[in-house]
Amino acid sequence: MGLTGLRDDPLKLILFGGKGGVGKTTCASSTALYCLSLDFKTLIFSTDPAHSLSDSLGQKIGDEIKEVQGIKNLSALEINSKKAFSRFKIQYEDQIRKILDTSTYLDQEDINSIFALPIPGIDEIMGFKTMVDLIEEARFDKFIGDTAPTGHALRLLTLPELLDDWIKVMAKLRWKYRYMVERFSGGYKPDEGDDFLLSMKRSVKRIEGLLRDDQRCEFIVVTVPEDMAILETERLIETLGRYGIKVRQLVVNNVLESNGCPFCRERRKEQERYIDRIRTRFSNLRLTITFLQPREVKGVEALNNFKDILFQ
Ligand SMILES: Nc1ncnc2c1ncn2[C@@H]1O[C@H](COP(=O)(O)OP(=O)(O)OP(=O)(O)O)[C@@H](O)[C@H]1O
Ligand SMILES: [Mg+2]
């Protein structure tokens, strides 16, 4: 059985996640090729700071959307969250300063030091916002995301909540200011500081709304038949569930097909035990088994072959 349900029109964002090295990038790239074969205009992007789309596709990608050479209708992007954050600071410096400036407690020195402080996860979230903007602009039919190994990907998905807390603190500063203005001048007209907080709040809601909408977004977990990978898979699926992100299907990669030599037979037997365990522990998920290939799955031709296995 192969991956299923991805051709549904409302489904826009398909994310791949899992333990390090299990085949996330390979599955993401192959899925992008599958979407193309169905005539969907597709963008493949990576949120992994150690980007490997360039390696997988065999050409330099980088942090601007660019058409993948030799493949019609496929574009790619390796999100650079540091750059997204610099853009954020440049874009919103005045508004943030305005909020701090109107706070009753802070002098210029405080404001400068607060402004220099990192805002929790803001760089990555700005990277993610880039993606949500693109999805809303509907420049592509399908967006395929390659995420970093479990811990980092989970952090990314839980960032909207962190940012929301930051917005609340800023809003509290505003609220006191607003109260004073209202008391002393009888009325309050929202300024650019309020507009900024509102627009940030909206971004958080849009990101959360997209990730939790199982019509528009699907998170596919990739694993391998090994003890540690199964444990990590459980943790990942459970944490995603807590954040309202449902997982429907699981890819079990690197499964040995051959029973030829004693070594392969032994490994295969061990894998079968783990596959049984996966079937039991994840009985509510649809499994797709993909075999270990004789060579690395790199470059368009190899990915196209792998796509046929992934969507058999
Ligand atoms: N079924 C397979 N058979 C053979 N090689 C594979 C298979 N799946 C993936 N590979 C190879 O294994 C390596 C790791 O795969 P990939 O980069 O897709 O994993 P990843 O989960 O994205 O890793 P990372 O966590 O480092 O991002 C790559 O060289 C890839 O070509
Ligand atoms: Mg990868």
Residue 109 lies in a domain: no
- 244 occurs within a structural domain: yes
For ligand 1, atom 29, the nearest C-alpha belongs to 296
pLDDT at 153 over 90: no
* pLDDT band of 115, cuts 50, 70, 90: confident
C-beta 307 within 6 A of ligand 1: no
Residue 291 lies in domain: 13-83+122-310
126 phi/psi in degrees, rounded to 5: -65, -35
CA dihedral 30, 36, 42, 44 (to 10 degrees): 10
Does residue 3 lie in a domain region? Answer: no
pLDDT-wise least confident of 160-164, 248-252, 270-274: 160-164
Assess if residue 185 is contained within a domain.
Answer: yes
Query: Is-contact 48 146, C-beta < 8 A?
Result: yes
CB atoms within 10 A of CB 59: 16
Name 144's bridge partners: 14, 44
pLDDT at 241: 93
- Say which residues have a Cβ less than 8 Å from residue 255's Cβ, sequence separation at least 6: 225, 271, 275, 289, 290, 291, 292
**206: domain CATH number?**
3.40.50.300
Q: Is the pLDDT of residue 67 over 70?
A: yes
> Rounded to 5 degrees, what angle do the CA atoms 89, 240, 242 make?
100
Domain count, the chain: 1
233-245 per-position pLDDT tens digit = 999 999 999 989 9
The DSSP bridge partners found for residue 291 are: 255
> Is residue 250 domain-resident?
yes
| pLDDT of the residue at 65 | 92
What distance lies between CA 286 and its chain's CA centroid? 21
Asked if residue 103 belongs to a domain, the reply is: no
DSSP state of 2: -
Q: Is residue 196 situated within a structural domain?
A: yes
Q: Is 254 in the pocket of ligand 1 (CB under 6 A)?
A: yes
Catalytic residue (one of 8, 9, 39, 48): 48
Is 48 designated active site?
yes
Q: Which residue has the tokens 């039991």?
A: 280
Assigned domain for 265 exists: yes
